[in-house]
């Protein structure tokens, strides 16, 4: 196990982005390469900082206040009478902890919720509340492992969906080019440019997929 992965194993896998990185793994990689301090993870708190200090040899320091405050674990709760079934919270949830469909009431699987709060900003009717666990619940290493697996599965699913969408667009563009655009240079140039952009997006997706598996 390399240093970045060892660091990632310590992080709580809440995928909350409070550290300033899009997920726990990029933050772990930044720490391993000396690009980020070890005190930027509020969900990990001071215990997490101390564990990272022991692993990396860096001095433990207080949590960076610019990243937020350490607090007890909370979970998201959808207020049923206010939910309009827009699905924006489902799209935002990094660990697939929200169930529902278009124009249907959504519900949070509380045990899966990491308390990341990423579902709050996109909700157009402010129908999501963050509630404390009663009695207080601790986020365990097993919770972190399960959250990481769900996050990775979700990321891969989205990548495949985007890849399939791009493949469909390319097929349509090639058919269009061979028919309507065959005798129209301007239309052919527009289609060629669209094909080139789609291929660039495909390359970025493929590169991102290979990086995520490293």
Spell out the domain ranges in the chain: 3-67, 74-132, 156-212
Q: How far is it, in rounded angstroms, from Cα 50 to Cα 77?
A: 32
Contact (CB, 8 A) for 147 and 95:
yes
pLDDT confidence tier of residue 93, bands split at 50, 70 and 90: very high
Lowest mean pLDDT of 106-110, 119-123, 202-206, name the range: 202-206
Is CATH 3.40.50.300 the classification given to domain 74-132? no
Contact (CB, 8 A) for 199 and 191:
no
pLDDT confidence tier of residue 29, bands split at 50, 70 and 90: very high
pLDDT confidence tier of residue 186, bands split at 50, 70 and 90: low
Dihedral angle computed from the Cα positions of residues 145, 150, 153 and 155, in that order, rounded to the nearest 10 degrees: -100
Distance between first and last Cα of the chain: 11
Q: What is the pLDDT of residue 203?
A: 72
Mean pLDDT of 136-156: 96
How deeply is 151 buried, as exposed, middle or buried, from its count of CB atoms within 10 A (0-12, 13-18, 19+)? buried
Model pTM above 0.75: yes
CATH node for 3-67: 1.10.15.40
Q: How far is it, in rounded angstroms, from Cα 156 to Cα 150?
A: 10
Mean pLDDT of 171-182: 63
Q: What is the pLDDT of residue 20?
A: 97
Sequence-separated (6 or more) residues with CB below 8 Å from residue 147: 12, 13, 14, 15, 95, 112, 114
């Amino acid at each position: 196990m390399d240093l970045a992965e060892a660091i990632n194993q310590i992080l709580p896998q809440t995928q909350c982005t409070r550290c300033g990185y899009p997920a726990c793994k990029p933050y772990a990689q930044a720490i391993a390469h000396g690009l980020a301090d070890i005190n930027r993870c509020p969900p990990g708190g001071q215990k997490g900082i101390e564990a990272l200090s022991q692993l990396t040899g860096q001095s433990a320091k207080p949590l960076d206040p610019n990243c937020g405050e350490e607090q007890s674990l909370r979970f998201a709760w959808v207020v049923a009478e206010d939910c309009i079934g827009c699905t924006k919270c489902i799209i935002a949830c990094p660990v697939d902890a929200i169930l529902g469909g278009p124009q249907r009431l959504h519900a949070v699987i509380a045990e899966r919720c990491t308390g990341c709060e990423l579902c709050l900003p996109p909700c157009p009717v402010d129908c999501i509340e963050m509630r404390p666990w009663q009695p207080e619940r601790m986020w365990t290493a097993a919770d972190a492992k399960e959250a990481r697996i769900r996050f990775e599965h979700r990321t891969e699913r989205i990548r495949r969906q985007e890849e399939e969408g791009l493949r469909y667009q390319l097929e349509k563009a090639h058919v269009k080019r061979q028919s309507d655009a065959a005798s129209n240079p301007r239309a052919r140039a527009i289609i060629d440019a669209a094909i080139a952009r789609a291929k660039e997006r495909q390359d970025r997706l493929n590169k991102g997929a290979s990086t995520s598996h490293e």
